[in-house]
Amino acid sequence: MNPRSVDTPRALPLEGVRVLEFTHMVMGPTCGMILADLGAEVIKIEPPGGDKTRKLPGLGIGFFRSFNRNKKSVVLDITTEEGRATATELAGACDVVLENFRPGLMASFGLDYASLSARFPKLIYVSHKGFLPGPYENRLALDEVVQMMGGLSYMTGPKGRPLRAGTSVNDIMGGMFGAIGVLAALRERERTGRGQEVQSALFENCVFLSAQHMQQYSMTGEPPPPMPSRVSAWSVYDVFTLAGGEQLFIGAVSDKQFLTLCRVLERPDLAEDPTLANNALRVAVRPALLQRLGDILQQHRVNELAPKLEAAGIPYAPIMRPEQLLDDPHLRASGGLVPMTTDDGGTTDVVLLPLTMGGQRPGVRSPLPAVGEHTEAVLSEWLGRP
């Protein structure tokens, strides 16, 4: 397979849509990447020297590669009058502008929605923020901040120990909601001929993730406990430690599945125990049942038990680490991991959007852009500059 691209013979749905992206980190770049994967021409505006996200260490080292494929890079210094004038011209030549900088920054440059839409009324402008308009709107936010504020960390960690999710869930989903807003605004513009401002925010995104627990309280009057302390609706729905210290999640969420699990484990005594005859009875003695199952499962190895569970139709999952997913057979066979040429000329495998359209995954069409790689070409094509 050519590492520079994945064949996409069919026309992509957003071909012909032009997007100007003023973003960094994760949230805004995710929105731009989704639009680019779906066929839009996305121009990423970078400052002289490049987006600082390119050089993040530690947990941020993979951000730029993960969320900036299929884009073109143009370097502009929008802190200068000339840079701002060029950025404004580019905005007038496009359909959508994306930004995710701190409140007030784009307005200080005259590149906010109010300034640009006055000149370009058909423009769709997407602001990715910490908070939607309201008392919190001028606060700075991070994924971790809103996970704490939005109930997610409380529900994830054990009691008294709020724990953030292990990835940038709100940044990524906030970018997704920004892209959804773009699609809706493009559709509305077809009817009205006018653009609009779309806002997507980390805090509201996190509250949306917590909505089911908010409704649980509204319906029962009882505060939902953190997930590690929850009262499970099912008797067998847990992580077990098997032989050699390997771990496996097993879920038997019906009476039929419980009996099937007993058969797989060759334990008819559990299947015939009258105190375990249905899910309600099993939930009532859940701690003791899990202890019994834990003792049994310590005699089994994951590589031997997993195929039996799969054949029997029992939900199960090994506890995978991110680096192991690079060799996941399903991701490989289904085309969910594909090679991409990086900005330094190397190659890396990247995760595609989790969807198919017409049986195809939107793929990688171009290498990860080097800093300013497309400046001359874009200014020539879009603005007619020599």
| Residues with active-site annotation | 171
Distances (CA, A) of 62 to 51, 88, 131, 158, 349: 14, 31, 25, 29, 12
Calculated CA dihedral for residues 9, 34, 66, 146, nearest 10 degrees: -160
The overall longest dimension of the chain from CA atoms, in Å, is: 84
On whether the CB atoms of residues 63 and 102 are closer than 8 A, the answer is no
Q: Map residue 334 onto helix, strand or coil.
A: helix
Q: What is the Cα–Cα distance from 86 to 269, expressed in whole angstroms?
A: 76
Pick from 125, 128, 129: nearest CA to 94: 125
Return the CA Rg of the chain: 25
Q: What share of the chain is helix, strand, coil (3-state, %, to 5)?
A: 45, 15, 40
CB–CB of 77/49 below 8 Å? no
- Look-up of token digits 């980390």: 202
